Structure 1
Amino acid sequence: MDSIWVGERVRVRGVEPEESLLLMEFDQDSTFMRNNDRLHPPRSKAGYRRYVESGDGTPDDDSFGAGIESLAEGRLVGWFGTNGIDKNSGVFSYGIAIGTDFQRRGYADEAIVLLLRYMFGERRFQKCDVEIYAYNTASLKLHEKLGFVEEGRRRRSQYFAGDYHDVVLMGITIEEYAAAHSLGTVQSS
């Protein structure tokens, strides 16, 4: 079986309600949370479960979240979610997070390539924009390696840990993606 959602290292899939405790564990790491979003107030196990159960999306919904599973370990190592959907302009955004214990193994870059292949090759989007905290050099380097181009910077636009932080704006077009990665193929049966 051939799946657009399976790479060499990861499988993109739905997050099961019983895995909500892993998301809760990821959220306990303040550095991890500040690199991926921001700190959130504590939430109950039931609150995490409700969050997971509400985030599946539908097959016709371009705004969705998914889990990232390590094929080698057979477990959830992170997740991503699309956002900023602008069907009129054909532009979307996403956020991605890989648990601290699973970083620097190629999971994020492979999951991003799979997501972009789907959004560009199946859903007709023509551009993806991302926002990355300026101090998150690992994410900036990863996105540059994947073909994203720095388009600007919003200075002092986020406040946490007692200071203001810049946000770097990066983007990739379908043409830039296709020059470096496959949009997929259709197999005859």
Structure 2
Amino acid sequence: MTTSAWVGERVRLRAREPEDWEAFLAFEEDSDAVRAAWRLHPPRSAAQAKKTMAEEAEQELDLDEFSLVIAGKQDNAPVGAIVTHDVQRHHGTFLYGISVGSRHHRKGYASEAIVLLLRYMFFERRFQKAEAWVYSYNDASLALHRRMGFVEEGRRRRSHYANGRYHDEVIFGMTMEEYTERYA
């Protein structure tokens, strides 16, 4: 039996496909979830969503900075996305962000996607530390990162504006050794 480094018990991480546009457009309807992930945008048309997803599906993936769909293992339908960014090869560090559609919360998709992503970045790409910056009002993500063993390393005060207020960003980190001790 063939196994993939991108497949867990519940999810598979995969590239975007043009037909994913409907799921991601539907995720944008939940303003609170959108704010928790980054920032609220004006509504997009179906035509814009189709075009954007088709263009993203055609882009060549970078080995270190990329965006992947978190899909349900059984039906391959999108439940969210996970991205790497702010890669610092010289230092061996990177940031990642994750967003899961509200109706898919609390099913283990986010934690499994993070474990799969970190395994790739640590053991295939030789990074030594992952960081996640979580908005202070995102209680679910704060709890997730603490539960997964991330260390709270600091706080960027009043650095994010959403829903009429300034919020802190909580900085979490996990080293390869911490990951290995817990997940490998």
Task: Name the TM-score class by shorter chain.
Answer: over 0.9
Is residue 2:94 matched to residue 1:92? yes
Secondary structure (helix, strand or coil) at the match of 2:118 reads helix
How much has 1:42 moved relative to structure 2?
2.0
Is residue 2:169 matched to residue 1:137? no
Q: 1:158 aligns with which of 144, 157, 160?
A: 160
Quick one: structure 1 residues 32 and 60, their matched pair in 2 at CA, closer, same or farther if it must change by over 3 Å? Answer: closer
TM-score by length of 2: 0.93
CA deviations on 1:22-47 (whole Å, 9 max, x unpaired) are 11110111011011111012222232
Secondary structure (helix, strand or coil) at the match of 1:158 reads strand
Q: 2:125 aligns with which of 104, 123, 130?
A: 123
Secondary structure (helix, strand or coil) at the match of 1:38 reads coil
Structure-2 separation of matches of 1:49 and 1:127: 35
Is residue 2:12 matched to residue 1:11? yes
Which letter does structure 1 place at the counterpart of 2:152? Answer: E
How much is the aligned-residue C-alpha RMSD, in angstroms? 1.5
Percent of aligned pairs sharing the same letter: 48
Structure-2 separation of matches of 1:173 and 1:133: 21
Matched with 2:67 is 65
Count of aligned pairs between the two proteins: 182
Matched with 1:106 is 108
Q: 1:170 aligns with which of 150, 169, 172?
A: 172
Matched with 1:28 is 29
CA deviations on 1:88-117 (whole Å, 9 max, x unpaired) are 111111111111001100000000000000
Structure-2 separation of matches of 1:7 and 1:150: 26
Structure-2 separation of matches of 1:142 and 1:66: 20
Of stretches 49-58 and 63-72 in structure 1, the one that deviates more from structure 2 is 49-58
Quick one: structure 1 residues 86 and 163, their matched pair in 2 at CA, closer, same or farther if it must change by over 3 Å? Answer: same
How much has 1:59 moved relative to structure 2?
5.4
Task: Give ranges in structure 1 of 5+ residues lacking alignment.
Answer: 183-189
How much has 1:5 moved relative to structure 2?
0.4
Q: Report if aligned partners of 1:55, 1:64 keep a CA contact under 8 Å in 2.
A: no
CA deviations on 1:57-79 (whole Å, 9 max, x unpaired) are 54553111111111244411111
Secondary structure (helix, strand or coil) at the match of 2:65 reads coil
- Off by >6 Å, runs of 4+ in structure 1: none
Task: Give ranges in structure 2 of 5+ residues lacking alignment.
Answer: none
Structure-1 separation of matches of 2:168 and 2:24: 26
TM-score by length of 1: 0.90
Which letter does structure 2 place at the counterpart of 1:53? Answer: A
Of stretches 152-161 and 100-109 in structure 1, the one that deviates more from structure 2 is 152-161
Q: Report if aligned partners of 2:12, 2:76 keep a CA contact under 8 Å in 1.
A: no
Q: How does 1:177-188 map to 2 (within 5 A)?
A: 177-182=179-184
Secondary structure (helix, strand or coil) at the match of 1:89 reads coil
